[in-house]
Structure 1
């Protein structure tokens, strides 16, 4: 069971291992929140990573050797295991967890110690929605409904202020 928590990642070192679509999405989200993002992948295929000069890219293959993984991740606050190899993602997660490093494993619902929730925000609120990794589709549906509610609240407050 995951405890909902908001964490400040501004100027924290963040590593994404994997340069595909999911890695790209995670990189953009973490960059938006001020993380110093490094993407480590033999081949980066996601344009959003390549086009962002604030995302450091290391074009190198990730070894499945635990000692090498430990050496790679040791300086990072948060690691995202986003390769297309489930076993490698699990190995990365296990190493990070043994070193008390926050890790998100995109190919597992359990082999990690941190999750990305659906986020709804405006100038006043930031709301995180999680489904314990069980239903991303339903989390997205709920996100849309919550966004409508906070937009209505903001609109109503602005109307009241203008009266």
Structure 2
């Protein structure tokens, strides 16, 4: 019996997941941007974990943060390009389930950070992890977390399905 649902409609769930990630990311950033002062740190587990409010004009680990502003457009264009490629492959049904989840995570996270760059000129970060004494892991946000988890899922999928 032929499948009556077009292939692209079966893939919409992944775009809904990406949109849910964007919404959760933006709501969390609105909360921290309105309830915290810049640089304020409230420790949840003293010495290990807390919430803060920091702005990152660069990319991961503040890469190119002091580059003069052009990086906002570069990282936004890169996020649109990667998200477009992933979205196109999702629509075409080229990914298995695990890779589709990974693509949705990366698209949602990347576009969540693009919204910050375009609205504010920087990304809002608020999760702070301490590792040792006064050494902190760079602050990050939900979008960053979804991008990282998505990348790990992509690696796992490539290990499970070599050659695809």
Q: TM-score, normalised by structure 2?
A: 0.26
* Higher RCO (C-alpha under 8 Å, 6+ residues apart): 2
Q: TM-score, normalised by structure 1?
A: 0.26
More helix by share: 2
